[in-house]
Homo-oligomer: A and B are copies of this chain.
Amino acid sequence: MPIIGNITYDELEIGDSASYSRTLTEEEILLFASISGDVNPVHLDPEFAGKSVFKERVAHPMWSGALISTAVANIMPGPGTIYREQFLKFLRPIKIGDILTVTIKVTEKLPRDRVLLDCSVINQNNEHVVEGTAKVIAPTEEIRIEQPALPNVKLESNGNGK
């Protein structure tokens, strides 16, 4: 298994940045609905979504927040980080097949191991999808650990998709 590690408060420097990319699939929309209970038809009902301002099904906007939190928790600062605050400004819808790239950047180091991060998410057309800021407590001790495996997930039909 690969190793997951962190960057401590002392190691972080203003201007340091990290990126994380992921493609939106229909499965991810369905799973996000499952774990949140958000069954808004603009995400789940192709017919309703087709008549909406978006013209097709779109991701739950908070999925982009989940991707930002992944960049923070897995890459920079990584394991041992404590998440304190997140501001998100949703600028564009996310459609199936969109490739999102999250970039986070250290903008300020505060006392008591606090760090401010600028967060931006763009799609494959370089359009800004989300902008935001995060405040975290960075780890003070180095962590290197075997990366936990993800579960295998299977979805079964539910009668939507008319």
Contact = CB atoms under 8 A, between A and B. Distances in A.
A105 to B, nearest CB: 19
Copies of this chain: 2
A30 interface: yes
A69 B36 contact: yes
A41 B154 contact: no
Given A31-B153, A149-B159, A160-B149, A37 B87 contact: no
28 contacts: A4-B40, A28-B35, A30-B150, A33-B150, A34-B153, A36-B63, A36-B69, A38-B70, A39-B149, A39-B150, A40-B79, A42-B79, A48-B145, A62-B68, A62-B83, A65-B66, A85-B88, A85-B90, A86-B86, A86-B90, A88-B88, A148-B158, A148-B160, A149-B158, A149-B160, A152-B158, A153-B155, A154-B154
